[in-house]
């Protein structure tokens, strides 16, 4: 099973345990089935990492090696955070 690391905490895990997000044109989308052939970033399915990423984006401190629409990413991560609940 391939492993990837979370872009926030850098912890490695099996790909399938992580949230895969890909850049699709100027939007970002969650790749639920992990099959979209585009460059991706991964997050732990963990409120801590999701919230930390949102805060870093807000402060302009979220740096990625791939071009991604950060505004769109922020919106998406906020939705994920709400789904994860309190």
Strand pairing class (40-44; 27-30): unpaired
Q: Please name which of 77, 85, 84 lies closest in space to residue 43, comparing C-alpha atoms.
A: 77
Per-residue interface string for the shown chain with Zn ion, residues 3-22, x marking contact by CB under 5 A: ---x-xx-------------
Is 77 one of the binding residues for Zn ion (CB under 5 A)? no
Subset of residues 26 to 45 that bind Zn ion, contact rule: CB under 5 A: 44
Is 54 one of the binding residues for Zn ion (CB under 5 A)? no
Q: Please name which of 11, 9, 6 lies closest in space to residue 21, comparing C-alpha atoms.
A: 6
Give the footprint of Zn ion on this chain (CB under 5 A): 6, 8-9, 44, 49
């Amino acid at each position: 099973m391939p492993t990837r690391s979370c872009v926030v905490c850098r912890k490695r895990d099996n790909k399938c345990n992580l949230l895969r997000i890909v850049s699709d044109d100027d939007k970002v989308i969650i790749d639920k089935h992990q099959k979209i052939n585009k460059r991706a970033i991964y997050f732990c399915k963990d409120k801590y990492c999701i919230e930390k990423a949102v805060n870093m984006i807000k402060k302009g401190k979220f740096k990625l090696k791939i071009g991604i629409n950060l505004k769109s990413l922020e919106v998406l991560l906020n939705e994920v955070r709400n789904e994860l609940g309190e």
